[in-house]
Structure formats: C-alpha cells, structure tokens
Amino acid sequence: MEVILLQDVPQLGHKDEIVKVKDGYGRNYLIPKGMAIAATPSAKKVHAENLKQRAHKEEKIRLEAQALAEKLQGINLVIGAKTSSTGKIFGSVNAIQIAEALKEKGFEIDRKNIMLTADQIKEVGKYKATIKLHRDVKAEIEFEVVSV
C-alpha cells in the first residue's frame, strides 16, 4: 500500500513523501492517527499540485533568507558583559544576548535559530555563531565579547 505522509514519521520518511508500507500498518496506524493518507491516483494529483505551488513559495523564502545571510556576513557585533579582573565573565554569553545585539542592528532573528560554536562563552574574546535562516541557508557571524 502506498501512502502520502502528512508529517515526519521516524524510520519511515519525511512529510510529503510517498512511501510504500504494509497494508495493516497504513490502514490501522498511519491513516487513523492522521500521519498519512492513502495514495490514490486523485490524491497523488492533488499532492503533486500542492508540491508545485509550495515549491514556488519556498524558493521565494529561500532567496530572501540568502539575501539576509549576505547582509549578516559583514556585520560586527560587540557584546558587553560584566567581568572579573582576570577576564572571566560573571555568568555566560548566550543566544539571547546575541539576538538582542542583532535586534539593535536592525535584524529580527529568533534566539532559537542561533547556535553558538563554543559550548559556553565565559571569557572575553572573539567567537563565532551560526544562524539558521532557512532549512538550506545558514549564516555565520563573528562577535566579540568585551568587558563592561
């Protein structure tokens, strides 16, 4: 039996894929739980049309994310933190401070999309962070932590 997945299913496939499963698994588990629909010829046509329309929108969003990534490449962030006399930070610098610094520069980026390369930033210095703008687009920015 072929089904069209409506959401990601572990060890089976990703959303919008057409996969072949055993009849009982499809009829008794995937379809009743709302994870999939039966891949009838008419459902396949509707699915293909939806993918075509969504691809156009996704391409536009991806291009916007690439433009934003190019703008972020040249940005220079400076984050101030309270430090001891030896340069150790009281606490640590995290994605929230980076998101706030980016907001001051005019970039509205969710803190959940910011991934720090260092595990924890507890000293002054230069660091890098990766910002996930889209599934395919990531930007890497450098920032400096200074003593306030």
Bridge-based pairing of strands 138-147 and 77-81 is parallel
Residue 148: per-residue pLDDT: 81
Is there a common fold for 2-64 and 69-147? no
Residue 21: per-residue pLDDT: 96
Residue 20: per-residue pLDDT: 96
Nearest to 127 by CA among 146, 113, 111, 108: 146
Could you list the pLDDT tens digit for every one of the 148 residues in the chain? Answer: 999 999 988 899 888 899 999 999 999 999 999 999 999 999 999 999 988 888 888 889 889 989 988 988 888 889 988 888 888 888 888 899 999 999 998 888 988 889 987 778 888 889 999 998 887 888 999 999 998 8
pTM (2 decimals)?
Answer: 0.64
Instruction: Give CATH for domain 69-147.
Output: 3.10.430.100
Contact assessment for residue 73 and residue 139, using Cβ atoms and an 8 Å cutoff: yes
What are the strands, taking DSSP E only, across 7-113?
18-20, 36-38, 77-81, 88-93
Instruction: Give CATH for domain 2-64.
Output: 3.40.5.10
Rounded CA gap, 137 and 109, in Å?
14
Residue 56: per-residue pLDDT: 84
- Kindly state the percentage of the chain with pLDDT values over 90: 38
Nearest to 35 by CA among 15, 50, 19, 20: 15
- Provide the residue ranges of all domains of the chain, joining segments of one domain with +: 2-64, 69-147
Residue 112: per-residue pLDDT: 87
Contact assessment for residue 121 and residue 110, using Cβ atoms and an 8 Å cutoff: no
